[in-house]
Amino acid sequence: MNKKGKIKTKKISELTIRRLSIYYRTLNVLEKLYRDTLSSKELSEIEGINSAQIRKDLSLFGSFGVRGIGYDIQSLKKALSDILGLNRKWNVVLIGAWQFSEVLVNSEALKENNFIITKIFNETSDKININDSIMVYDIDQLEKRIDPKKDHIAIIALPPQKVQNIIYRLEKIGIEGVLYFASRAVKTQGNMVVINQDISINLGMLTYKIMEKKQAN
């Protein structure tokens, strides 16, 4: 027990959480194919992750399988959505270029995972062509229009030099989490979860691996 009286649980590593998300996406696909069970061996082959690793990751949160059989896809999917927090709706505000907003509004990834885009903040708000349930505002209106009680997370797709300022403002507003795409580090006060998805990093990894492969002949 720690000083708050809660049971002290071992910290789950970021690598594990990332893999749980990977398992979850595969379960989504298999469920749609009307598959009912899945073994760690099969999941291992699909995702290229060691099967002991998979069983270990899951065992950090409970026993979800049946010996001799494997995992029931629906109930494992349910368990993972509980663990990851995908068992509830998350309201999302988008902040950024209109093209990007359109991409995300049409994104299956958001729809399928209970992320609801409720507001869009733009620099050129007239260009957007979306449905009526999403309000479109100017970026100036951030403080006026975002309600941290209702708006849980923000997705930012702005040019890199504008991101830090928006992050400051969102943290002040009291939003819980942010995903941003700029190729740049940002600072926070630590009251907000921030994740960066940077295409530059993946391009660097891609080119490194291509060269590595060539070198190996």
Partner DNA sequence: TAGATTGTTAATCGATTAACAATC
Chain residues binding a second copy by CB under 8 A are: 4, 14, 17-18, 20-22, 24-26, 28-29, 46-48, 83-86, 90, 97, 99-100, 102-103, 106-110, 112-113, 115, 152-153, 157, 159-160, 176-179, 183-185, 193, 195, 197-211, 213, 217
Contact call for residue 63 and DNA (CB under 7 A) = yes
Token pair recorded at residue 92: 């999302």
Site for DNA in 147-186 (CB under 7 A): none
Token pair recorded at residue 113: 């995972």
3-class DSSP state of 42:
helix
CB of 67 to a second copy, least distance (A): 26
Residue 116 interacts with, from DNA, a second copy, none (CB under 5-8 Å by kind)? none
Closer to a second copy by Cβ: residue 49 or 139: 49
Residue 69 interacts with, from a second copy, DNA, none (CB under 5-8 Å by kind)? DNA
Task: Judge contact between 188 and 167, C-beta under 8 A.
Answer: yes
Neighbours of 145 (CB within 10 A): 15
Nearest Cα neighbor of 80 from 110, 98, 60 is 60
Contact call for residue 73 and DNA (CB under 7 A) = no
Neighbours of 51 (CB within 10 A): 14
CB of 141 to a second copy, least distance (A): 23
- d(C-alpha 73, C-alpha 102), whole Å: 32
DSSP-assigned beta bridge partners for residue 95: 121, 156
Q: What is the DSSP letter of 10?
A: P
- d(C-alpha 93, C-alpha 155), whole Å: 6
Residue 41 interacts with, from DNA, a second copy, none (CB under 5-8 Å by kind)? DNA
Euclidean distance between the first and final Cα of the chain, in Å?
A: 55
Contact call for residue 71 and DNA (CB under 7 A) = yes
Contact call for residue 51 and DNA (CB under 7 A) = yes
CB of 123 to DNA, least distance (A): 38
- d(C-alpha 192, C-alpha 125), whole Å: 27
Given candidates 17, 36, 45, 50, which one binds DNA under the rule CB under 7 A?
50
**Footprint on this chain of DNA (rule: CB under 7 A):** 13, 15-16, 38-41, 49-53, 55-56, 58-59, 63-71
